[in-house]
């Protein structure tokens, strides 16, 4: 490790601790990630984005802290937030280690605990410092804004805050055809009958394989959340969409800790409409067509 003076000085100003060395860290196509070795012997991760959208890192920090509230009860591991400002976020470093089957099972149990901690509403996002605790502010999913206004039911929330905004954006950018749009819109009116209503769960919100870090003793830690109150099947569907290793063991342990409602596997495609359409809006490709193909099965 060498020492990047500008990065080190910025971290030192926020932490009040000297930075001995810095090194580029993997991950993060939106922010620049840097590993920091501190003078007290600890290690931190610094994410920087000099032109971050308003409250970008503050929202992420609030989500991490909200999820971390479940750790003492056996919830998923969440790195400690050391400091946050408009242009950067500093977290306790999680040293990557090899995933074990026992670790996968433990992660499934821990995720069930985190989900069961609940949320005040569908769509509610963790309150930011200085805000009224009304959970009404917006967040982010990748580079895109994430609507945060609560809704009275999951079906209304999922249609109006998750699927339709990104379907419209994909269509406006030429990434979704008129046929794709019509098919996906056609299933929105059936959500309430297709997905059993449950109390709002405490969701990570962007739980793909890359946002799970396997640390010491195979423990799973979650990073980069788009945390909100939602249906617990949504996090599980995201894990399935992007292929978490040993997913079967994760799901078995989850179901033992908090039994899933019958038919959850057949509903995964519905929950996957949201991540597929955010990808369609950002990247184009065949994501909208894939989402339409899934939606067609439920019409």
CATH of the domain at 47: 3.30.200.20
- Two tokens, residue 287: 């994501």
> Is the same domain home to 73 and 105?
no
| Domains: count for the chain | 2
Give counts: helices (H), strands (E), the chain: 11, 11
Tokens of residue 114, six digits: 């985190």
Query: What pLDDT is stored for residue 132 in this prediction?
Result: 59
Contact 128, 122 (CB under 8 A): no
| 32 and 108 inside one domain | no
35-63 confidence digits (pLDDT tens): 999 999 999 999 999 899 999 999 999 99
At 211 the pLDDT is 96
Grade residue 5 by pLDDT with cuts at 50, 70 and 90: confident
Length of the chain: 299
Tell which of 92, 123, 142 closes a domain.
92
Banded model confidence at residue 94, pLDDT cuts 50, 70, 90:
very high
297: helix, strand or coil: coil
Residue with the bigger pLDDT between 208 and 138: it is: 208
Residues 82 and 174 in one domain: no
Structural domain span for residue 106: 101-296
Same domain, yes or no: 180 and 290: yes
Residue with the larger pLDDT of the pair 216 and 87: 87
Residue 218's pLDDT band (boundaries 50, 70, 90)?
confident
């Amino acid at each position: 490790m060498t020492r990047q003076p500008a990065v080190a000085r910025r971290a030192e100003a926020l932490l009040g601790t000297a930075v001995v060395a810095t090194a580029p860290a993997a991950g993060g196509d939106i922010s620049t990630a840097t590993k920091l070795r501190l003078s007290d012997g600890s290690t931190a991760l610094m994410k920087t984005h000099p032109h971050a959208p308003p409250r970008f890192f503050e929202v992420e920090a609030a989500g991490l802290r909200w999820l971390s509230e479940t750790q003492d009860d056996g919830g998923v591991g969440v790195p400690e937030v050391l400091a946050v400002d408009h242009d950067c976020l500093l977290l306790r470093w999680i040293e990557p280690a090899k995933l074990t089957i026992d670790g996968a099972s433990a992660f499934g149990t821990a995720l069930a605990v985190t989900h069961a901690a609940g949320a005040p509403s569908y769509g509610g996002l963790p309150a930011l410092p200085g805000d009224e605790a009304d959970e009404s502010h917006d967040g982010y999913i990748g580079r895109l804004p994430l609507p945060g206004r609560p809704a009275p039911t999951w079906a209304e929330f999922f249609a109006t805050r998750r699927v339709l905004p990104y379907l419209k954006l994909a269509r406006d950018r030429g990434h979704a055809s008129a046929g794709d749009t019509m098919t996906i819109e056609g299933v929105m009116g059936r959500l309430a009958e297709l997905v059993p209503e449950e109390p709002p769960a405490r969701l990570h919100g962007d739980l793909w394989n890359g946002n799970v870090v396997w640390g010491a003793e195979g423990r799973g830690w979650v990073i980069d959340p788009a945390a909100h109150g939602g249906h617990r099947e949504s996090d599980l569907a995201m894990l399935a969409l992007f292929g978490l290793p040993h997913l079967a063991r994760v799901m078995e342990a989850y179901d033992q800790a908090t039994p899933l409602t019958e038919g959850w596997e057949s509903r995964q495609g519905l929950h996957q409409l949201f991540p597929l359409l955010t990808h369609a809006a950002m990247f184009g490709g065949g994501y909208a067509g894939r989402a339409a193909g899934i939606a067609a099965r439920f019409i």
